Each structure stands twice: as C-alpha cells, then as structure tokens.
Chain A
Amino acid sequence: AQSVTQLGSHVSVSEGALVLLRCNYSSSVPPYLFWYVQYPNQGLQLLLKYTTGATLVKGINGFEAEFKKSETSFHLTKPSAHMSDAAEYFCAVSFYGNNRLAFGKGNQVVVIP
C-alpha cells in the first residue's frame, strides 16, 4: 500500500533559520506529491505540488520542495523562517488514475523569535 511518512510531529525553528520538513513515500509507481499548510481554524491550503517535469518545485510563501526518486523523498524547505510560517504542514501523495490523497501525519511548526 502507498503511504507517506513525516517524522517529528513538532518542529521548532528560530526566526530567520532554515525550515526543513521531511517527507518520504512508499510506492511502486510514480507518484504525484503535494505539500499543504493548515493555519489555526482554517482548512488545508496547497503550498506546492509535483506531477511531472522539473523535480525542484517552487510554491507559495517562499517554500520549495525537491522530488528525489532515488530517495523516495519530497522534502519541503524555506531558507528563512518567518513568524507567519507557524502552522501545521502535511505531505500527501496520489497516483495516476486515483483521485485519493494519502496524507502524512503532519508537522506542527513553531517559530521561535
């Protein structure tokens, strides 16, 4: 079965420091990969997605992610954390012919001033 793993439920980062959230997937077929962000009392908002083509994907709010097939990974990064980045982040995967998304358990990001 396809699945997504996000390690470390809570991630603390200092303001201005690198944000790195790890996502690994398990699949025998090429995946479509997504990162979503959830702010308090809101729904999930799409940050970025990888379908085909360039493996480095840029999203909103200065985030980017790189698809590495050899490592089955799709890690999310942002060079410099801002206080407004405090939120929960979810990695998700889907596959050709299947509309369902399989979500990771999420990372709660805390930004320390």
Chain B
Amino acid sequence: DAGVIQSPRHEVTEMGQEVTLRCKPISGHNSLFWYRQTMMRGLELLIYFNNNVPIDDSGMPEDRFSAKMPNASFSTLKIQPSEPRDSAVYFCASSLGDRGGGQPQHFGDGTRLSIL
C-alpha cells in the first residue's frame, strides 16, 4: 500500500519566495497533520485537519504560513514570503481519526526546506 507521499523531497529557494509543500495522505485516512522538525525545537505540530476541516492551527508560527486541504487526498502548506528561519524538515502525517483515539499517525518522508 502506498504511504503518505510528500513533494518535493528537497527545496532550496531564496528568501522572500513563495514555497508550497504538498502531501497526499493514505487513502481512507481522514485526519492529516503538518509538522516541522528542527534541531533546536524538535518536532512541532503546525496544524491538523479532520475530514478536510482545519481543527487546530495554533502551531502555525505566523501569518506567512497557511495550509489547505481542498479534498481528502491532497493538502498543501504554503509559506509566503519565506525567511531563512523557516529552514527545517516539514512532515505530513495521516491517520484514521474517527475511531475514538489510539490510531497511529503515518508519516511521509518529509520535505527538507532550505531558505537562503
């Protein structure tokens, strides 16, 4: 079975440019999570969706960050304008979210973002 698919795997761009990260969750999963991982701050939850609806975006660092989930099989995380401090690995994860809890999250391989 296909896992969570993220693209691109690597992105290098200059400060001020718009960056769009993409995620395809596992088919049938109805919860989707975006994380950011850095050496300094570890793994941080940015936002999560349930049935395509954003439930908690309290982890989104600034208004420069936005996320959408137009349908059950696709989500984007956008940074505009990008800054060097946004450099990190961004992970998408999905899970079955309507079973009362205890469902593991399945992670993609991440997008390594470098802002110059």
- Kindly count the residue-residue contacts between A and B in the assembled complex, taking CB atoms under 8 Å apart: 56
**Stretch of A18-26, A78-86, A91-99 at the chain-chain interface:** A91-99
A-chain residues with CB within 8 Å of residue B45 when the two chains form the complex = 100-101
A96 with B101: CB separation less than 8 A = yes
- Give the contact-size bracket for chain A: 20 to 34
A14 within 8 A of B: no
Whole-angstrom distance from the CB of B11 to the nearest CB of chain A? 14
Question: Which residue of chain B lies nearest to A42 when distances are taken between CB atoms in the complex?
Answer: B109
**What sequence of 0s and 1s flags, for each residue 31-73 of chain A, a beta carbon within 8 Å of any chain B beta carbon?**
0101010000111111001011000000000000000000000
- Main SS at interface, chain A: strand
A105 with B42: CB separation less than 8 A = yes
A-chain residues with CB within 8 Å of residue B106 when the two chains form the complex = 46
**Could you tell me the distance between the alpha carbons of A96 and B100 in the complex, rounded to whole angstroms?**
5
A101 with B101: CB separation less than 8 A = no
Whole-angstrom distance from the CB of A14 to the nearest CB of chain B? 26
- Give the contact-size bracket for chain B: 20 to 34
**What sequence of 0s and 1s flags, for each residue 76-116 of chain B, a beta carbon within 8 Å of any chain A beta carbon?**
00000000000000010101010011111111111010000
B48 within 8 A of A: yes
B-chain residues with CB within 8 Å of residue A96 when the two chains form the complex = 100-102
A99 with B43: CB separation less than 8 A = no
A90 within 8 A of B: yes
**Could you tell me the distance between the alpha carbons of A100 and B50 in the complex, rounded to whole angstroms?**
11
Contacts A43-B91, A99-B95, A103-B42 given; indicate if A94 touches B109 (C-beta within 8 A): no
B4 within 8 A of A: yes
B109 with A99: CB separation less than 8 A = no
A101 with B105: CB separation less than 8 A = yes
